[in-house]
Amino acid sequence: CTLILCSFITVSLTLAVAYYIYTPLPDAIQQPWKLMMLDAYFRTAIHVGIMKGLISESSPGPVPGVKVSDITFAGIPVRVYEPPAGGEGHLRRGLVYFHGGGWALGTTKKGTYDTINRMVSDELNTVVVSVEYRLYPEVHFPVPYLDCLAAAKHFLSPEVLAKYAIDPERVAVAGDSAGGNLAAAVAQEISVDDSMSVKFSVQALIYPVLQALDFNTPSYVENQYMPILSRSFMIQFWVQYLNADLSLVPQFAVNNHSTLQHSAITPELRSRLDWNVLLPQKYKKNHKPLIVEKGSHGVLKKVPGLLDVRAAPLLAGPEVLAKCPRAYILTCEYDVLRDDGLMYARRLQDAGVTVTIAHYEDGFHGCFSFISWPLEFDVGKRALRGYLSWLQNNL
């Protein structure tokens, strides 16, 4: 009886683990079981609250010759990467990087973020500034944005650029996911700030999150259960960032927070994220917009950040977008944020900005960070190489 009981328990646990790990994935995804196990690990880590420094823990090791300094810019902690000595007398590129992690997770000081910034510094002769902005639950919007803006403005000052021998015509801002959100928002603000004598010449946005009014775009619907970022997790990150009650997550999921009864969401504002107009047909497919007539009352008063362009850069007006630097926008087919990036690319192009769209048909959210064993995916290595190549040719 004891043997039978043990066997039953073993089989039950095996089935339970398999059920927890298994997620149906599209055929285009390479190494599906690795991605499933990675997703299960992330979900578990988030649930038990150990995710703070988990993002991109894997790293192939430091790049020799790059000088790394942990200092502060305008009181904000930053890590500065300076390329190896050589080429004295020639000005270098500059780049400000904001890491991803839902405004709640991640760090620039270890893992893949550190490795990628070392690579950019070494291969492209670039001074990279990676910003350690404050995170949830310590702070909420607009603090992470303000941290990033303050650090970026400090870096762009003529005195600091001169100190690091940086060409003021060759300074970029970049970021992935929530960091892409911060990069887009900071680029917009600096573009229209007449007090700034030096502005960013390019922006590189890696699967950026750009709006929180429509969680039923085709990509949100198609990829709502995809690793590494499900729709429910992305909504949770938004609700936390905007300091709203987590009980609102189900309401946001069905667009009850952006109903037609909200007069503050004008037709003009809605047009700025109208995927039925902004997306190519291949992404719209047979999806229909989910527009709710009546829903949750008072949400916009409780969560004003929903309409703040500093939180949702896709809502910026064309007069702001027209002043933005030329852009590189990376999107992945199997990512809830795919359409955010594609819509922003279209709106920038409509405003006269030159945009390069790098779309990965076999890509998924987070792949840019998975470039080394054991968290290595070929699409991640291709995405990184594409990013480096674009910066090489455009910065």
Quote the pLDDT of residue 330: 98
Quote the pLDDT of residue 252: 96
Q: How far apart are CA 108 and CA 71, in angstroms?
A: 13
Q: Which CATH class is domain 53-210+308-394?
A: alpha beta
What is the CB neighbour count within 10 angstroms for residue 303? 22
pTM: 0.91
The DSSP bridge pattern shows strands 375-376 and 371-372 to be antiparallel
Strands of 326-334's sheet, edge to edge? 67-73, 76-82, 126-131, 92-98, 166-176, 202-206, 326-334, 355-364
Closest residue by Cα to residue 361 from 28, 24, 23, 35: 28
Quote the pLDDT of residue 75: 98
Among 39, 114, 176, 335, which one carries the catalytic annotation?
A: 335
Q: Give bridge partners of residue 144 from the DSSP assignment.
A: none
Q: Quick check: is 335 catalytic? A: yes
Quote the pLDDT of residue 289: 95
Among 121, 154, 365, 369, which one carries the catalytic annotation?
A: 365
Among 177, 191, 201, 230, which one carries the catalytic annotation?
A: 177
Q: How far apart are CA 119 and CA 63, in angstroms?
A: 7
Q: Quick check: is 70 catalytic? A: no
Q: How far apart are CA 272 and CA 319, in angstroms?
A: 12
Quote the pLDDT of residue 298: 82
Domain boundaries, the chain: 53-210+308-394, 218-302
Q: How far apart are CA 197 and CA 213, in angstroms?
A: 34
- Tell me the C-alpha to C-alpha distance, in Å, between residue 253 and each of 28, 49, 250: 27, 23, 5
For each of the chain's 395 residues, which pLDDT tens digit applies? 566 555 544 444 343 444 445 677 888 887 776 787 777 766 676 655 544 444 444 455 567 789 999 999 999 999 999 998 755 568 999 999 999 999 999 998 888 999 999 999 999 999 999 999 999 999 999 999 999 999 999 999 999 999 999 999 999 999 999 999 999 999 999 999 999 999 999 999 999 999 999 999 999 999 999 999 999 999 999 999 999 999 999 999 999 999 988 889 999 999 999 999 999 999 999 999 998 988 777 888 899 999 999 999 999 999 999 999 999 999 999 999 999 999 999 999 999 999 999 999 999 999 999 998 788 899 999 999 999 999 999 99
Q: Quick check: is 177 catalytic? A: yes
Residues 6+ apart with CB under 8 A from 222: none
DSSP class of 206: E
Q: How far apart are CA 377 and CA 310, in angstroms?
A: 33
